[in-house]
Structure 1
Amino acid sequence: MMKILIADDEPLARERLQALINELGIGEVVAEAANGKDTLELVRVYEPDVLLLDIRMPGIDGMKVIQQLALIESTPAVIFCTAYSDHALEAFEHQALDYLLKPIRKERLEQALKRTYNLKQPQSAPISPSPRARTQISYYQRGELCLVPVNQIYYFYANDKYVMMCCKEEEVLISETLKDLEKEFAGQFLRIHRSTLVAITQITGLKKNAIGITKRYYILLKEVEKPLEVSRRHLKTVKQLLKDMRL
């Protein structure tokens, strides 16, 4: 059973989370903290699997807590439980697993805890992203926070100073850089151009288009009708990947 630490300066909020966890029967609350300093100390003592973390707390706030957790060897999965929606992007940048808004709904808490449980189970032949790669990318649409699973993203491309995320039937603007995405999702996404990263699982082949003496190469993707151009600089890497994939 998962060990859970609750960190919130409001006693009623801690009681609410404790009651929901008892109802769900997914994990066991091993300790509670009312401020950031105690939270960090209790993480070291109990080594919880999950930290349910508020943002506004006395002294060290939730954002500083998650940053300092990176210095601890046994780091719990962090699920923010807060009344403030404006810190969501920052939370996911610091590798938060989920971001729940108060009042916490039982179904959302269950979903977040089950995801944590599944991530902690042994995986056979895993794909090799960076150790703390996110499973979802967040963006805002009409003032609402939206999440897209990484395995549903086809490609990213840079448009001037902005980065667009392309998934099923939509393209959305995200607050990310291609450089950071490439580093975080190495093994899942491949750079084919200085402005494009594609999902490796989407690749089906490489097409050559010759116009006179000029040759251009394009990646073909399963769910994307338009081929994406491969730059000369990245062509060798793309060809080697396709060879390894036997495409």
Structure 2
Amino acid sequence: MDLQQYVIDIGNSRIKGAAFANDNLVEGSVRIFERNDWSEIYREITNHQAKKLLYSTVANVPPSILLHKLQSEGRKVYSLDHNSPLPFTNGYESPETLGKDRLAAVAGAMSLRSEGNFLVVDAGTCVTLDLLTMADETYRGGIISPGVHMRLKAMHEGTARLPLVTPDQSKGALKLGKNTTDAVRLGGQLGVANEVAGFYAKLNAEFAPLTLILTGGDADMIDLHLDRNSFSDYALEPHLVLLGLNKILRAC
């Protein structure tokens, strides 16, 4: 019988959860939860009869009463941190400060490909770009920069007259703004996309062949502005962090 696991990704703006049967994502199990909706999360865990759980958080932690309840039911509950067993060598100089979502995303890349090198891009509140080399299975580090929403907000709050603009996926085909709203919007959206493409080109010169793996809440929007033909290999994977959490949980 397949062992049922459940993983929870607690981000800055949302919580995602999913069930796995060994290495396989259970179809239809991916859920996005409201903040602090722990009763619904508990219901999902019990519905899937999960015996092992792993949560990763960059924000608030699950309430202790929930964790104790799960443990009292015989479920093993783990929290991802820098001491967790990882499927790669962590080359970060301050592993205790490395975002858990970044660790999970890199582990998720190893679930998709077994060869080559990876630039893992998580486009959310912030954009993280992280390098994994597979010959030595080592995480080399990366960069953190403002996400699309943060850039748009900064342009509004840091100037006297620029409007507060929201992203718009329908503007993906535009290359130039012909009004201030579109100019600001494209500055945020294209700024991230061009940063990704530029960083990829720089690393690919040294670590080719390099696969770009894109994930995160703004991944679809960034994808519209990327030329896939400029990458040796490319994957858009919305569940990358969940896949990585399960890979780590399997080793716990």
Normalised TM-score (structure 2)? 0.26
More helix by share: 2
Greater Rg by CA? 1
- Structure having greater relative contact order (Cα 8 Å, sep ≥ 6): 2
